[in-house]
Each structure stands twice: as C-alpha cells, then as structure tokens.
Amino acid sequence: MRAPRWLGLLGAFLRLNVAEELQYRANFVASVLGTLFSMATALLTLALFFHHTTTLGGWDYWEIVVLLGVFNALTGVIEAVLRPGIGQLAGEVRSGELDLVLVKPVDAQGFVSFRRLDIWRITDVVLGLALAGYALFRLGHTPSLPQLAAFGVTLAAAAVVVYAIWVVLMSLAFWFVSVENIAVLFDAVYEGARYPVSAYPGALRFVFVYLIPIAWTTTIPASALTGRLRPELALVAALVAGLAFAFARALWRAAQKRYAGASG
Amino acid sequence: MIERYAALIRNAWLVDLQYRASIVLWLLWGVTEPAIALGIWWAIAGDGSVAGYARADFARYFFAVMLINQLTIAWDSWYLDRWIREGDLNYRLARPLHPAHEAVAENIAYKARTASVILVVWLLVAAAWPAVRLPFEPGRWAITAVAVLLAAAMRFFISFTTGLLAFWTTRATSIMELHAGVSLFLAGRIAPLALLPPAVAGVAGVLWFRSMLAFPVDLLTGAVHGTDAVLRGLAAQLVWLGVWIAAFRLAWSRGIRRYGAVGG
C-alpha cells in the first residue's frame, strides 16, 4: 500500500473517533483522574521499596521515577490505540464477522490495529513525559542533545516493540477463539516493565531482554534519558524493534491462514 | 437448598469449562503481580533481611498471597454492573432464588478450579525449592482454612455491594478499582504489613483490609503468633463480615426499589 493512502486512512479513523468521543466529555475527567491515581499508586509502591533500600538494581529513586514516566507514556499509547480494538477482534474471529475486514482493500493488520482509538488516553502520554521530566529535574540531570536524540529513537522503538507484542497476542486469538480477554495476558507480562530489568533475578532478566522483550520498552529509553546508555546503542534498540515487528508480522500472516470465515 | 446449590455450581463449572483458556489467562494475571513483588523484595533483601524478612520468608509470603488471593478474590462487582446496566438482572429477579446465590455458586466453581491449579504448582515448586515449603502443622492449616473462608465471604460481599452501586452510578467498577488500588498496600498484596510504616499498617488493621488477605496469609506462613493474636484476627474478620453483610442488605433493598429495568 502507498504511504499517502495509509495516512489518509489513519486520519479518517482519528476524525471518526474524535467525533464519537466528544459526545462523552465526562470520560475525559474520569480518564485523567484514573491516570493520576495509578501514577500515585506506582509512586507509593516505589516509596515503600525505597523505605527499605537505597538502590534497586543499581538505580536510585528518581531514576526509577524517570522509568515510571516512560512506562506511563507507553501505557497511554496502549490504552489509546491498541486496547480499544482487541476485544472486537476476538469476537469477530469467533463469529466470522472478520470476513468484512478481510475483504476491504486495506491491510487487515493495520485496519484491525488502528480502527478504534480512545483519544482521551493520549493525556497519559503527556502526564508520563511530564513525570519523567520532573524526575530528571530532581536528579539534577539535563540531557545532552545526543541523549535526547537517543531517547527519541529508543522511545519510538519501544512503541514498536509494544505494538509487536500486541500483534502476537492478537494472532493468538485465531488459535484460541474463546479468548475475549487476551489483553489480560499483556497486562500480566507488562507489569514487569515497571522496574529496571537489572532489579530482577538472572533468569527473569533473560526472559525480559530476549524472549518477551519488555526491557526494551522502559529500561532502555529511561537509560538513554538519564545517560546510562551510550547514545549509539539506540541503534541496537531500533534493530530489536525491526526484528520484533518482522516476527509479529510473520505470525499474523500465519494466523490468518487458520481463519476459515463465517462458513467454516 | 443443597440440591439447588449443587445444580448452580455444576452449571457454573460447565460454563467455565468452555472458557478454559480464559481461566488460564486470569490465573496468569493473578500470579504475576505477587511474582514481580517477590522479585523486587528478593533483590532488596539480598543476603540479609528486611524488617525480619529474609529471601525465603518473602518467597513463602508471596506464594501464600498467590493462593489465598485466588481463593478470596471476587469479580462480582463487574458482573453486577453489567447485569444492572444491560438489564440482565431482570430474568434473575424473576427466579424464585436470590441472584446472590448464583454469584456464590460461580465463585465456588471458579475458585475450586484456579486455586487447585495454584496448589499443584506450589507443590511442584516446593519439591524443587525448599524456600517455599511450609512446616507440617495441620492445626494451623485448619485455622487458616476458617480465616480464608471468612475473608472470601467478606470480599464477596464487598464486591457484590460495590457492584450494586450501579443502581445509582455508571462508575461502580471505577469505585471497585479504587478499592483494589488501596488494597494493594493495605491488604498486603505488595508487601507484608510488617514492612509498611506503622501508622499505615495500623489503618489496615482497624479497617477491613487486613482481614481481606494479609491476616490469613500471615496465619498460613506462621507470622501470627499466639492464641490471643489469632482470636483477635478472627474476631476482626467476623465483625467486618457483619458490617459488609449489613451494607449489602441495605444497598440491595434500596437499590431494587430504584431499579427501572432496561428493555422490556
């Protein structure tokens, strides 16, 4: 598919969803309150840990708050873009309504991923980045230009990795059609991204870096921002993101072959 | 009544059986939170101990949390919210049996299934890893069983009553999530209450949160010493169970009068 048409389609999704959500403005307040509450819970949990220690996996308090800010920003992307569509997909695979998506002259993976948007949750991205910024201020660390560039690259790579994990889960819906709440599996795994991977025992760290690569979603961007990571290594993050995306895409293709349609 | 319950439980069991994959997902979700908390406390404890808790103590504590949380958790507020909003409550009201009985039966079927899985996993892990083994004390286990039963009953009434708030507001599930956020600390899900600042742990003991989870967990791991402490803990559970039953009766009788069924 040519790029401009893609952009046009995304623009159309956005317009539709904005128009729909503007009918429910009270949801905006509820969404912001919910985000603030979950941020407060995360900070209190961290404060509890640091009540009994001075470093966690070699990171100090405000460094992990930077990481929590990144975590929150990515949560915003997930809640705004990825979660709204997935429940619908499982239902469509079961009932055969997915036929209507597959016959459309667009890429099915892209269509399924981006058709539903929950625009209010975009505020999570803003609040998360603000938290990271405040934590940097408390650290007394002003990121240099290469560090900021590395943060930009690694954060984009993080969004791609999260998306890839999500597509893998969506693909599973073709095998386990009864799974309406497959997103729960993502929540379970993503819990681990709240803390730097260096805090975990060796085996778990291996899993988070190589098998379920959530280390690349929060630990690496936060490290880039605080200067723990040499800026060049951002390119490795980009490579990981590319690999994860290619794997997810291949799995999605394989999964689609299993789909038999409404008559199957 | 026993026949009715047998039929209800059988029914719930068979419905669950259709959604096996879904049960596994919720199980994973329930296990990761304590597992991650254990990973972090494991790192903090190192070779020493935190407020008297060494690594093995944390391991036992969080394995007990996994089991007992699964045995006492109640999802009823989510179901009730849907029943009330979408009118599914109607045909349940037409039955010659209070809808709460169906919910209790569902809870028993769900817990029997998930808790037995966790118990098997625990036994397997304990075979290889001495840290999570419990001393053989049938008396203590019997008292723990009573405390778990009281906690499960109380959490059922908390969840059911909160769900009944859907008679008045569309945000009943948000209130339940708020309660879950607070119970993360006060019920001992993120850390043993002994590790909280004393004032916070005191609040948890005065309110119902300790009775929900931390007390039965501490009973099982042996952190509660002496007949006196055991009796006081059980008494607190009974008192709060009574309070929540009263709240349930009030919310039900007021709410049902307000209920204008959807559809028709």
Spell out the SS3 assignment of A159-192: HHHHHHHHHHHHHHHHHCCCCCCCHHHHHHHHHH
- A 27-86 near B (Cβ less than 8 A): 30, 34, 37-38, 41, 44-45, 48-49, 51-53, 56-57
Q: What is the pLDDT of residue A22?
A: 73
Residue A125: name the closest of A35, A29, A221, A224 by CA.
Answer: A35
pLDDT band at A1 (very low <50, low <70, confident <90, very high): very low
CA distance A47 to B185: 12
Whether the CB-CB separation of B182 and B99 falls below 8 Å is answered with no
Residue A150 lies in a domain: yes
Backbone angles phi, psi at B223, to 5 degrees: -80, -15
**Structural domains of chain A, count:** 1
CB-based contact A56 B43, cutoff 8 Å: yes
pLDDT, tens only, B120-163:
888 998 888 888 888 888 888 999 999 999 999 999 999 999 99
CA distance B1 to chain A (A): 33
Q: Evaluate whether A71 touches A193 at the Cβ level (below 8 Å).
A: yes
Burial B41-54 (b: 16+ CB within 10 A, else e): bbbbbeeeebeebe
Size of the A and B interface in Cβ pairs below 8 Å: 78
Lowest mean per-residue pLDDT among A50-64, A167-181, A208-222, A231-245: A167-181
Q: Report residue B261's pLDDT band, with 50, 70 and 90 as the boundaries.
A: low
Bridge partner residues of A59 (DSSP): A56
Instruction: Find the distance separating the first CA and the last CA of chain A, reported in whole Å.
Output: 29
Among candidates A49, A181, A201 on the partner chain, residue whose Cβ is nearest the Cβ of B25: A181
Give the model's confidence band at A264: pLDDT under 50 very low, under 70 low, under 90 confident, else very high.
very low
In chain B, what are the domain boundaries? 2-258
CB contact under 8 A, B29 and A185: yes
Q: A262 falls in which pLDDT band (50, 70, 90)?
A: low
B45 Cα distance to chain centroid: 27
Give this prediction's pTM.
0.87
**Least confident among A103-117, A140-154, A203-217, B110-124:** A103-117
Contact B162, B176 (CB under 8 A): yes
Q: Is A263 part of any domain?
A: no
pLDDT average, residue stretch A168-191? 74
**pLDDT tens across B191-225, in order?**
999 999 999 999 998 999 999 999 999 999 988 88
> Which residue from A51, A52, A73, A258 is spatially nearest to A151, judged by alpha carbons?
A73
What is the value of ipTM here, to two decimals? 0.85
Across the interface, do B32 and A188 touch by the CB < 8 Å criterion? yes
* Packing angle, helices B138-164 and B226-258, rounded to 10: 20
Question: Looking at residue B228, what is its pLDDT?
Answer: 92
Distance CA B218, CA B192 (A): 8
Among A57, A179, A189, the residue with its CB nearest the CB of B21 is A179
Question: Quick one: pLDDT at residue A2?
Answer: 54
Interchain proximity B22–A53, CB inside 8 Å: no
Mean pLDDT computed over B253-257? 88
Please compute the mean of the pLDDT values over residues A73-91 and round it to a whole number: 81
Print the domain residue range for A230: 3-257
pLDDT of residue A211: 85
Give the Å distances, CA to CA, from B96 to A121, A201, B80, B82, B92.
Answer: 44, 55, 18, 21, 9
What pLDDT does residue B186 have? 93
Cβ(A88)–Cβ(A111) below 8 Å: no
Burial class (CB in 10 A: 0-12, 13-18, 19+), B21: middle
In B19-137, alpha helices (H): 20-45, 55-72, 76-86, 89-94, 99-128
Nearest CA in chain A to B53: A52
pLDDT in tens, B4-54: 888 888 888 888 777 677 777 778 888 888 999 999 999 998 888 888 899
Please tell me the distance in Å from A241's CA to the nearest CA on chain B.
25
Q: Are B244 and B157 in contact (CB under 8 A)?
A: yes
User: Taking a C-beta distance cutoff of 8 angstroms, is the pair A88, A98 a contact?
Assistant: no
Nearest CB partner across the interface for B40, out of A34, A187, A195: A195
